[in-house]
Structure 1
Amino acid sequence: MRSDTDSREPAASATSAVHDESRAARKDEHVDLALGQQGDGGGRNEFDDLDFVHQALDGVDAERVDLGVDISFDAGRQYPAGEWHWETPFYVNGMTGGTERTTRINRELAIAARETGLPMACGSVSVALDDPDAARGFAVIRSENPDGFVMANLGVGRPASDAPRAVELLGANALQIHVNAVQETAMPEGSRDFSSWIASIEHLAAASPVPVIVKEVGFGLSRSALRRLSEIGVGIADVGGRGGTDFLRIENARRSAGEYAMLSGFGQSALASLLDAPLNAPTLLASGGVRSPFDVVKALAAGARAVGVAGAFLAAIGRDGEAGGAQRLVDLVNDWKLRTRAVYALLGAATRDDLLRTDLILRGRLREFCADRGVNISALALRSEAPRP
């Protein structure tokens, strides 16, 4: 679940109290609608269209498995090229913030991230940059997790000067810039001024004092989009695919007329985006529809360096971020770590890179997409037989 929806709203000098109240109400409404989708049981998505070839004699001892991952990034104007090391291959992805209710949610998420060592992103901080009264809903993340890896979040289209402000608000280690054209199309308050987005990303990235991650909010990043991001110097991208929290459906539920259900199913899944990615893509993260540790492993095997989880973790925290939700999430995260390690061992993978040599079988809509896009499906099914570098 990602409430990353305040990308092009006016600065505080032009923002009325009524407008601020409307934005706050929208954030709380997004939480309810997203949790309602979790209540649907998660459902089938394209993670179910990827299978591993079982190699019965290739398993490794679970105690040999190292879940750590390295996230490399290119140099920006304000920072040198480098690499982050995360102890786990999954993280808390951007969700929400800016209201009393979402402040409680962010507090519980931050406590759980602190106790488990997970990196954590927040929802869009645009509301806090426009209304200082909303800042506490984001600053609580750093106050509860002073030494953790924290990602700020800002929408494309915001002024470049907002990038360092967003980073400062959270003492952030990285800045997510979210793109959400499909959501904006259906959102009653949405903007459809899309032609300036590439320039906006370039300006925000140049102004950011920390590495930038460009992320979709649930409709995928195509081969062309990833290539364009690489060309403008973006070093990391979260493909944010279809199959998780559906912001088209959320915005349709908020409309009184003229809904966009005709676009249901629009976009690409995380796996489709990963398998379709060009060789010169930025370092890839994946999110969207991740329901279990097995989905995490599938995304890693398809090319992701790490995997963002939102809806499943929000459900553990609870609808209103009630006290004690953090402990429920700590228990869930520890269980995910245990089961992720077990699946690595079953697949004969001691590290994330070993997963790239597992044999993948594609089915259904995922296979159709990859076949139409010219992805070498046969090579994916025979990766274990390829010569090692």
Structure 2
Amino acid sequence: MAYTITLPTEDRNKIVYTLQNAEPACLKTAAFSARRAYSAAHVVADPLSPVPPVLGGKVDWEATLSYRHHLWQLGFGVAEAMDTAQRGMGLTWEAAKQLIAYSAKDAKAVGGDIASGVGTDHLSDKEIYGLDAIISAYEQQMEFVEAQGSRVILMASRALAKAARSRDDYRSVYSRLLRQVKEPVILHWLGDMFDPNLAGYWGDRSIDGAMDVCLEIIHEHKHKIDGIKLSLLDKSKEVAMRSLLPQQVRMYTGDDFHYPELIAGENGFYSDALLGIFDAIAPAAAEAFQALDRGDLETYNRILAPTVPLARHIFEAPTYAYKTGIVFMAYLNGHQNHFRMIGGAEGARSAVHLAKLFMLADQAGLLVEPERAIKRMVLTLEAAGISQEVRV
């Protein structure tokens, strides 16, 4: 059965698009072992909450947790309360505490892997804090996350980026934190394309200089570090850095542009993964990882290759708006019954952007039920004043 829809284009015209994958094959359960893979996961807003979205809104806990079970069933670990969950961009620390507690409890019940974000986001962005106050803020969140039985992801701190005056300030903060963690943590280096407030992180405006500082910290505290998630969208920098890591420290790629080749690896080096794009492409990624387990690189590449244009589109500038595309994919695929986001972030992308996302998702075989997806795409377009008849 062929489904056809009229979609807007960037030049203000329209095209008639016929879906290419009327019956895509999408896994519901999977398991893999060749790579460790975490999916950063989005939160589902409560559309009936009386709290205005611009004030944060409320979370639909049932739908949010259901999506985590979907990811665990596909073999992924869940990277909880990260930027994909709009942490610091709609999701407050108080809401993040609830999210982490609920997810950690469910993870324990089903044997799912979970690692949760620890940061300083309960501090005000309008103030400048001393290093001791920043360390104390990190410690408060770290204590809470460890008490839930979750692994810690030590997130980059806006407060530290604002307060630090030298490389030594970063060494001081991270050294104090790493000396007291109970289990090895995942460090998180988030580039300023994801959060402009993190420019110059590690005390150096150049990537190479910042990498030197980060590597010094990792080598000094290697027994307290499981790995580092690198989100710079620069393949060459990740390849260079992972070759310089201590043997037992993992590189978790956060590169939503080049993930297939970085995960596949070369010359004995490869990246594990902690990616926001996995939220949107989880069934395809799980099938690709199963192929990698078999040593079938051809199938691995065949499955992931068409997901890359989709990922590049979702994460296009302004990159921090990628969460809108992630949630839209969940809406198209029936993981939530509305396209609303906390903070009103559903408005961060245009109807034209979402129309192209729809086409690319179809071409990657990621629209689980095409009839439902096309109906929801029509509703989105009609809300933007683009009415039409759907031809089947």
**Do the two structures share a fold, i.e. TM-score over 0.5?**
no
Structure of greater Rg:
2
TM-score grouping bracket, smaller chain normalisation: 0.3 to 0.5
